[in-house]
A and B are shown apart, each in its own frame.
Chain A
Amino acid sequence: MRKVFDDYRALSDEMLRSNEVRVPHFLDAMKKSLDRRSNWTFWLPYVLSLDVCMKCGTCAEVCPVYISSGRKEIYHPAVRSELIRKVYRRYFTWPGRLFPGLVGAEDLTEDKLDALAESIYRCTVCRRCAYVCPLAIDNGLIVREARKIFDAIGIAPDELKEKGTRKQLEMGNATGTPTAAFLDIIEFLEEEIEDQRGYKIKIPVDKKGAEYLVMHNAGDYLAFAETVMGAAEIFHAAGVDWTLNSPDTGINDAVNYGVFFSDIEFTEVLKAQIKTIVNLGVKTLVVGECGHAFEAFKYLMLRLIPPSERPFEVKSILELIDEWIREGRIKVDPEKNPEPVTYHDSCKLGRLGGLYEEPRRILKACCKDFREMEPNREMSYCCGGGSGFAIMTKGDFLKFRMETYGKIKAEQLKATGASIVALACSNCKGQFREIINYYKLPLRFAGISELVANALVR
């Protein structure tokens, strides 16, 4: 593919439409994004982040892409934000309009627009940089706002939009699993649990009025079934009233790729999910092992949907398992997981969601030899699957993921000496599957639910 920014491409030529005039549309959309009334969700931190960078470079020192690329300036977080700031100053501030050369304002050209579109898809919005910025500037937020502007002019990765949010709204899940296939999957999982554990359990589907609705990332059924099986065993062992849901009920996929690139797509998906949950009349929505879905339901939903329209509780499956182990509702034996296990903090669950201790308490209770990966918690490195990257594989994009984020993660993993890395997010699982394969690492990944199910004492 044609080179527009670096050796990789996240967006095809067809998507970029470089032969069309796009700059005026981009500027219109950007104008809207800077207007508090039409973009109120994160307006204040967004414009403050555009206004106040002092270019100290602290952000770059913690950025996984910048560090692993051999400190290439194009991947410097503040340099990336500066691409947007130059446009912001040139077209939306008085000094930039009058004296562009003096204030670092630059005209936006069609070529620069191509480069900018690609640049914002080299950052996973892990927000490690936001955590260390002395001025609390959030480069991740700037990237997300830029992705929104591009989406408004019709430029968004098709994995996230056409085959993501659009497909999810049409089919009930982004994988396109129809109900018959879903029911076949459930039957297979029941058989697998019986084969593996020697006991039968019934996995409830579409049970109205259940106490808990467990909504997984639908990709887990197809690619990470062990997580779904583990969750079913845990809920069964806890003896609670629970259910999964099929596409017949509406949306049966916790994902919401709008989190990564569009408030409009985000809201449409969220409303369809809420409608499904309300129709099922459940008390608590349990978000399966999915980082961005947790952000969507636990935090973003609060800013967009009034409490009266979301009459249910939201819990991460990690919060529930942790509670159940501590109160003795489920019994676990760490001897059943004797191998050394480490944990990777998902950015969305950890740095963004604050779930640091829950997974650790769970793993320490269920595994004999738990080892920390260094650094961890707030300073955990993004694996490189975040913000949709785990499912973006155009051209050489997988190589970009492996040679930047993946390289750091592979080194971290090796240093732990663990034979299992526990993960609580689907995008992380997709990325680790590739990292382990690419770097031929002598370990496997496992969902937290899988390890807990292994440790269950019946």
Chain B
Amino acid sequence: MPKMVLAGIEIEVDEDGFIQDPEKWNEEVAKALAETEGVTELTEDHWKVINYLRQYYQQFGIAPMIRKLCKETGFSLKQIYDLFPSGPAKGACKIAGLPKPTGCV
């Protein structure tokens, strides 16, 4: 498994750059991950999405449905793509420190 230095910490990541140990995630790591996704600044709107993803993941062990993510954060899917250009799965989940979503999503 490759390793990356994110916010001064050495963290294992998969081939797509998703961190492997959710425990190592913190806000600084999120900022460093955001840069790998071409998101230069994490605004309040970004954090709203990130925090919801993390909260849902901690409760259920999986990323939430996209429809639920939109409903709970009040953003349309297009707005989420505007915030996270790689989309909710590859972009937002990565920055939130979740594992890469699998299956046909």
- Is this pair of chains taken from one and the same complex? yes
Residue positions of A touching B, CB distance < 8 A: 12, 14, 159, 163-164, 167-168, 173-178, 180-181, 184-185, 188, 192, 217-223, 225-226, 253, 255, 290, 390-391, 393-394, 426-427, 430, 437
Closest chain A residue to B60, Cβ basis: A181
Query: In the assembled complex, which residues on chain A have CB atoms less than 8 Å from the CB atom of B102?
Result: 159, 163-164, 167, 174-176, 391
Do residues B105 and A222 form an inter-chain contact, with CB atoms below 8 A?
A: yes
How far is A185 from B105 in the complex, measured between Cα atoms in Å?
15
A255: chain B residues at CB < 8 Å are 103-104
Q: Are B65 and A221 in contact (CB under 8 A)?
A: yes
Q: Which residues of B contact A (CB under 8 A)?
A: 15-16, 60-68, 71, 81, 87, 89-90, 100-105
Let me know if A180 and B104 touch, CB within 8 A. no
User: B interface, by DSSP: helix, strand, loop or mixed?
Assistant: loop
Number of A-B contacts (CB under 8 A): 87
Q: With a CB–CB cut-off of 8 A, which chain A residues contact B81?
A: 437
Query: Are B16 and A178 interface neighbours, CB within 8 A?
Result: no
State whether A226 touches B67 (Cβ < 8 A): yes
C-alpha gap A446/B16 in the complex (Å):
29
Which residue of B61, B104, B105 is within 8 Å of A181 (Cβ)?
Answer: B61
Q: Shortest distance in angstroms between A387's beta carbon and chain B's nearest beta carbon?
A: 12
Q: A414 CB to closest chain B CB, in angstroms? A: 19
A-B contact pairs, 12 of them (CB 8 A): A163-B102, A164-B102, A175-B105, A178-B61, A181-B62, A184-B60, A192-B67, A217-B103, A219-B103, A222-B65, A391-B103, A391-B104
- Is A175 in contact with B16, judged by CB distance below 8 angstroms? no
Q: List the A side residues contacting B90 at CB < 8 Å.
A: 393
User: Bound complex: CA of A262 vs CA of B39, how far in Å?
Assistant: 39
A225 touches B66 (CB 8 A): yes
CB distance A222 to B60 under 8 Å? no
Query: When A and B form their complex, which 4 residue pairs have the shortest distance between CB atoms, in order from nearest?
Result: A219-B104, A174-B103, A175-B103, A181-B60
Inter-chain contact A220/B61, CB cutoff 8 Å: no
The answer to whether A225 and B65 touch across the interface, beta carbons within 8 angstroms, is yes
